[in-house]
Amino acid sequence: MEKILEKKRVDDWVAALTGYEVHAPALEEGIWGYQPINGPIRLDHTNTKQPPKEFAFPQREVFFSFEQIKGEAPRLKQVMPSGPRHAVFGVRPCDGRGVPRMDKVFNDHAQDAYYNARRKNVAYVGLACNKPPSANCFCLSVGGSPVSTDGLDVQLTDLGDRYFVKAITEAGKDLMTAAGKLFADPSAADQKQLKQVHAAAVAHPQRAVNNPDQAPAKLKASFKSPLWDELAQACIGCGICTFLCPTCHCFDINDEVQGKAPLNGQRVRTWDNCQFPDFTMHSSGHNPREGTGARLRQRVCHKFQYFYENFGMHQCIGCGRCITECPVGIDIIHVVNKVVENAG
Amino acid sequence: MSDQQPYEPKIVAFLCKWCSSAGSDLAGVSRIQYPANATPITVPCTGAVSPMYIMSAFNKGADGVLVSGCHIGDCHYLEGNYLARRKMYLIMKLLEFIGVEQNRFRMSWVSAAEGAKFAQVITDFVGDLRPLGPQDKLKRAEIK
Amino acid sequence: MPDNIYLPSLGRIAYIKDEVVGERAIKTFHVEPLDGGWFDHDCGQCAMLSVFGRGEAMISIASSPLVKGYKQFSIMRVGRVSSAFHDLSVGDVVGIRGPYGNSFPIDDWRGKNLVFIGGGCGLAPIWPLITTAVAQRGDFKDITVFYGGRTSRDIMYRAELEKLRGSVDVHLSIDKMEEGWDGYCGFVPASVMNRDPSPQNAIAITCGPPIMIKFVIQNLNKLGFKDEQIYTTIENKMKCGIGKCGRCNVGKDYVCVKGPVYSWAELKYLPEEY
Amino acid sequence: MINLKDIRETARDMLAKGEARAVIGYRRGSRGMLAEPAFLTKPEEADELVWDPTCFHNLSLYLVHDRKHLAHAGKNSGGAPVAIIAKGCDARSIVVLMQEHYFKREDVYIIGVSCEGTGVVDERKLATHLNGVQASNAAFDGDDFVFTTAEGEKRIPAREVMADRCLECRSPYPKEHNLVFGEDKTGRQLEAPFAALDRFEAQGAGERWENWARHFDRCIRCFACRSVCPMCYCDECVVDSITFPVTTETTADEKASRIRWIERSAARSENITYLMTRAMHLAGRCTDCGECDRACPVNVPIRLLNNKMEKEAREQFGFEPGASIGGPSLVASFLDKDPGEFIR
């Protein structure tokens, strides 16, 4: 389904989505973030500071609550996510490509009921990048594109005073038919302009990972390279690069106790981070990834080797957040290029 | 809060074992009437009260936190209460700064002989806390 | 797999035994399903146990799959959850989910000689294999068990090991000589060399501290064991058990899914991240 | 005006003569104009060093890392000192570290650099100023910063894009040094000390709470503030373990009895407890390098909490953090005239 929507009618479209909770990028404290929308929406954002992964994989997920009176068996109460359907507007194509990657992680080997319950309840309305929203964008070199529709349900392309609106999935069609009258059929001129805009978007220069196809093998051969320690020398071991990554999925599971008599609380999942020093530390104190070099290697190899070996695609989608936000300049493009180049 | 159960502020009171804790005992054995809102936690010295304790008490739902120790000059460890005076001043200012009501945190000097003063400190604190209502700013929320 | 992989079943502690006391205490627990049955497991698999309010820990199942009424776990007191386990009493209820990981290919080994080499608490992961092989004694040729502890008090399953004698060749060892000790004195790898088991039609299974495993494998190679004939198990910190939480991986493989059982032929090519 | 050549010469010379086992300084990173930490061990690397308005990092953090690595390797001393480029605030951090006996004076060779009349750039202010234009180079020029952009050279008065902490800085000159470059402009004042804090404090308690509640809610607990802070060197933080706190010698009792003060969930109550406790632990130690504030990916104004402590310490206790190596610590000392009227 391909349609044209005048920009001034976008708010009418949102208003027509009565069965949905609509989220779109908004500015707070100088930061673009997805927020529930109750008024006009604006889609002039660069890219959001945090990716839209929180809609299916929130930072905190309650698995179940438990209550135990001393001497009795505990009572467990499963807490499954529920609520209205979400429509998330303004998702950039790179972040869209993060979605199928997360789908793989949470459904390979065993299905994650919490992720899937949220995932089936959200539709992503993407916005093609007519020009790179960040100086550190590198989607083209990791198999993506500023006009990619992968993982999206609807794709919007900015044609000046109107959007070219394309349904990608059935869920996307539903979003459009909910406000069918607002949309017009595209003319031949619209189609032509779309092609031009997309061609220009793809032609826009970007930073690049030089040999993404060679990366898995070269990284594998570089496991013991001294470069890892060198490149990670400045690393401070914080969680910025992974918490802001659209495809980082590592998590921790903890019991949060509310009361002791009777014992009650929740078992919760929270985001965790392979750059924290205690992430892999055994109870014995032994740590298989003791230094920042080993931990940087884990992050980079997960993105460009392990995931590729397991699923046949790079996990990194080239949004550049980890590069822009790193307080000490650790640059995944530079790291991959340097290690790959050094592997000969 | 239902009408049947009027709001009773919960106070966590960190009491130095040499003075204020003994002072509270004296208030008890002297049968001085004062509100039963304070949960006492005996500490070796007010100087040993970490700001973490205070934040943690609020985190776990205290409506008010009291730190009470020996009068200046009477510290069993000579200068513990001098150090506490400085530290507690700082945390008090920090709490105020983020907008926590001033009356949620209190410090007092109560000697082992001042049972009546201890009762008064608690009575006053409860009186000051009551109009503030439950403390929900720093409290760990129930899960939605 | 159940619909919700994170929701544990409940199990009642039916039996507790102090295996080893002192600083590195080990206790053995039998956990029975609270209502009805629960999952079957294979030799070498693990389960995620939880003490509610304290958290979860991945523990090897130490009982044979042939034992249906309960599952056995031998837990060394090392951290938060294992300490909570040591504080439990018979009748207490814990959470359990699993089974996780791969298993020893026991069916491929029928008709062969089995050489078990364990150290410290490393007897627990291979115990289901030993007891299964003994229960199906006719299916296997010679069975030899080398097992050692730091001191005689660190020897776990002592009574059970003694009972095996007769149908199994048992060689116990301790690191330093003690009065009244009639077994071997020295480290486990040396204890193995002392008896030089034959690699002929044999499989060697070893589990214990990493440093012991390293020297055991070197010695087995010296004795003529090929890498394909040597099996071991590895452990890493785990949270989910199903390859999602991202911390137990060795290279591309999550130990909770592809491990914990590896032949040395596979393991030697994996990065040393365990 | 500092001549970069002099800094490079010094570094080259020290490394060549073995007078320093490493030089920690700044070099140009791989992402645009930004500088990044550099760790030089060979004389020929000295030409990599840069000095420009993007040298914001407080490199004394890496002296802490160095000590931790030495300790982990079982060494007490690395032999020759580590030379480090330090601005006024950074040098004060080094003083605090020595005051707390983290290392000795002879373990470090301080190559001081004066910020003279300006300071470092605030990336957020600059981004607003440049409005989407990317800069590829930044340079000091008197009271201005000069940026190279695709649209040509842009000269901006420094005070318009400088970090708040630099505007308020009264001592942009590293008093403690072995060698110093640049003019001593101690006492220079572009804005009143604590100006940003005073602006915030002018609000009523209700408004302050409303603001802080939003700030605390945004925190994602990536711990960049802690990780980037040279004063957050504890092996074990109230929040969790961070470096090598559990060794093979740590007993099960110690591990089991470790109090979990804060849950891992990034909930408001937990974020408050973390950030407030951190501010308390930094009272009298924070030298206002502002790195926590800069590193925070979600713009929590962490610096204000630390500033509040600094201001109270100064006004009530006459205390200046990082003033002298032999001086007392704020919370381990007292004066008879300390305020006590608040005590009942």
Yes or no: say if B78 and B27 are a contact pair by the CB < 8 Å rule.
no
Q: Which chains are adjacent to chain B, needing at least 3 Cβ pairs under 8 Å?
A: A, D
**Cα distances (angstroms) measured from residue C69 to each of C57, C63, C89:** 22, 10, 19
Domain segments of chain A as ranges: 2-58+65-203, 215-342
Q: Tell me how close the Cα of D188 comes to any Cα of chain B, in angstroms.
A: 28
Helices within C199-241 (DSSP H only):
210-222
Q: From CA C30, how far away is CA C73, in angstroms rounded?
A: 7
Domain segments of chain C as ranges: 9-100, 106-233
Nearest to D224 by CA among A316, A244, A288: A244
Yes or no: say if C95 and C56 are a contact pair by the CB < 8 Å rule.
yes
In order of their start, the domains of chain B are 11-129 (3.40.50)
**Least CA distance to A103: which residue of chain C?**
C244
Q: In terms of C-beta density within 10 A (0-12 exposed, 13-18 middle, 19 or more buried), how is residue D78 classed?
A: middle
**Contacts (Cβ under 8 Å, ≥6 apart) of D78:** D21, D66, D70, D107
Residue D335 lies in a domain: no
Where chain D has pLDDT below 50, the residues are none
Please name the helix (run of DSSP H) or strand (run of DSSP E) that holds residue A34, with its range, or none.
strand A31-36
Q: Per-residue pLDDT for A106 more than 50?
A: yes
**Per DSSP, which regions of chain C are E strands?**
9-20, 26-33, 46-51, 55-60, 71-76, 93-100, 113-119, 143-149, 169-174, 184-185, 202-207, 230-233, 249-250, 253-254, 261-263
ipTM of the complex: 0.93
Chain segment B95-140, per-residue pLDDT in tens: 999 999 999 999 999 999 999 999 999 999 999 999 999 999 999 8
Q: Coil, strand or helix: which one is D139?
A: strand
Helices and strands counted in chain C (H then E) = 7, 15
What is the predicted pLDDT for the residue at D246? 64
Contact criterion met (CB < 8 Å) for A136 and D31: yes
What is the predicted pLDDT for the residue at D251? 76
Exposed e or buried b per residue across B3-17, where buried means at least 16 C-beta atoms within 10 angstroms of its C-beta:
eeeeeebbbbbbbbe
What is the predicted pLDDT for the residue at B144? 46
**Least CA distance to D295: which residue of chain A?**
A327
Exposed e or buried b per residue across A64-77, where buried means at least 16 C-beta atoms within 10 angstroms of its C-beta:
bbbbbeeeebbebe
What is the predicted pLDDT for the residue at D57? 97
Mean of the per-residue pLDDT values of chain C: 93
Radius of gyration of chain C (CA): 18
Radius of gyration of chain A (CA): 22
Beta-bridge partner residues of A167: A154
Q: From CA C262, how far away is CA C102, in angstroms rounded?
A: 9
Q: In terms of C-beta density within 10 A (0-12 exposed, 13-18 middle, 19 or more buried), how is residue C115 classed?
A: buried
Does D24 contact chain A (CB < 8 Å)? no
Q: From CA D266, how far away is CA D264, in angstroms rounded?
A: 6
Q: Which two tokens stand for residue B37?
A: 């809102």
**Least CA distance to A311: which residue of chain C?**
C252
Q: From CA C73, how far away is CA D292, in angstroms rounded?
A: 46
Please name the helix (run of DSSP H) or strand (run of DSSP E) that holds residue A64, with its range, or none.
strand A60-68
The pairing of strands C143-149 and C169-174 is: parallel
Fold classification of C9-100 (topology level): Elongation Factor Tu (Ef-tu); domain 3 (2.40.30)
Yes or no: say if D305 and B97 are a contact pair by the CB < 8 Å rule.
yes
Does D224 contact chain A (CB < 8 Å)? yes
Q: From CA D190, how far away is CA D129, in angstroms rounded?
A: 19
What is the predicted pLDDT for the residue at D243? 52
DSSP state of C252: T
Q: From CA C50, how far away is CA C96, in angstroms rounded?
A: 6
Residue D244 lies in a domain: yes
Q: Which two tokens stand for residue C248?
A: 């137990």
Full DSSP string of D238-269: SSSB-SS---TTS-HHHHHT----S-SS--HH
Nearest to A125 by CA among A178, A84, A88, A151: A88
What is the predicted pLDDT for the residue at B4? 65
**Alpha-carbon torsion, ordered D259, D261, D265, D269, to 10 deg:** 160
What is the predicted pLDDT for the residue at C36? 73
**Cα distances (angstroms) measured from residue A301 to each of A221, A289, A316, D136:** 11, 13, 10, 29
Contacts A285 to D, Cβ<8 Å = 246-250
Q: From CA D281, how far away is CA D260, in angstroms rounded?
A: 18
Nearest to D291 by CA among D85, D47, D75, D59: D59
- Sign of CA pseudo-dihedral B74, B77, B78, B82: negative
In D221-260, the residues whose Cβ lies within 8 Å of chain C are 251-253, 255-256, 258
Q: From CA B105, how far away is CA C195, in angstroms rounded?
A: 72
Q: Per-residue pLDDT for A30 more than 90?
A: no
Same fold, C9-100 and C106-233: no
Q: Which two tokens stand for residue D180?
A: 């110093």
**Least CA distance to A258: which residue of chain D?**
D263
Q: From CA D224, how far away is CA D227, in angstroms rounded?
A: 5
Yes or no: say if A314 and A215 are a contact pair by the CB < 8 Å rule.
yes
Q: Which two tokens stand for residue C271?
A: 């990065």
What is the predicted pLDDT for the residue at D241? 59
Q: Tell me how close the Cα of B143 comes to any Cα of chain A, in angstroms.
A: 8
Touching chains B and A? (3+ Cβ pairs < 8 A): yes
Q: Which residues of A touch D (CB under 8 A)?
A: 28-31, 49-50, 59-60, 135-136, 233-234, 236-240, 243-244, 252, 254, 256, 268, 270, 273, 276-278, 281, 283-287, 290, 323-325, 327-329, 331, 333-334
Q: Which two tokens stand for residue C259?
A: 């491990």
Q: Which chains are adjacent to chain A, needing at least 3 Cβ pairs under 8 Å?
A: B, C, D
Strand order across the C184-185 sheet: C184-185, C169-174, C143-149, C113-119, C202-207, C230-233, C261-263
Nearest to C129 by CA among C97, C158, C164: C164
Q: Provide the residue range defining the domain that includes D271.
A: 4-329
The pairing of strands D144-149 and D135-141 is: antiparallel
Q: What angle do CA B119, B121, B126 make, to 5 degrees?
A: 95
Interface probe for D, chosen from C77, C81, C85 (most Cβ of D below 10 Å), is C77
DSSP state of C225: -
Q: What angle do CA B125, B126, B131 make, to 5 degrees?
A: 105
Touching chains B and C? (3+ Cβ pairs < 8 A): no
Q: From CA C49, how far away is CA C32, in angstroms rounded?
A: 13
Across the A:D interface, residue pairs with CB atoms under 8 Å apart total 121
Q: Which two tokens stand for residue A157?
A: 């392309």
Nearest to B111 by CA among B13, B11, B12, B18: B18
Number of folded domains in chain D? 1
In A203-222, the residues whose Cβ lies within 8 Å of chain C are 220
Write the residue in A78, A254, A263 that is nearest to C55 by C-beta: A254
Residue type (1 letter), C87: D
What is the predicted pLDDT for the residue at A285? 81
What is the predicted pLDDT for the residue at A51? 97
Residue D338 lies in a domain: no
In terms of CATH architecture, what is C106-233? Answer: 3-Layer(aba) Sandwich (3.40)
Q: Tell me how close the Cα of A283 comes to any Cα of chain B, in angstroms.
A: 26
Chain segment D262-298, per-residue pLDDT in tens: 899 999 999 999 999 999 999 999 999 999 999 999 9
Q: Per-residue pLDDT for C105 more than 60?
A: yes
Full DSSP string of B14-63: EEETTTHHHHHHHHHHTT----S-EEEEEES-GGG--HHHHHHHHHTT-S
Q: How far apart are the first and last CA of chain A?
A: 48
Contact criterion met (CB < 8 Å) for C257 and A284: no
Nearest to A20 by CA among A35, A36, A8: A36
Contacts A254 to B, Cβ<8 Å = none
Does C54 contact chain A (CB < 8 Å)? yes
Does C80 contact chain D (CB < 8 Å)? yes
In C239-258, the residues whose Cβ lies within 8 Å of chain A are 239-240, 242-252, 257
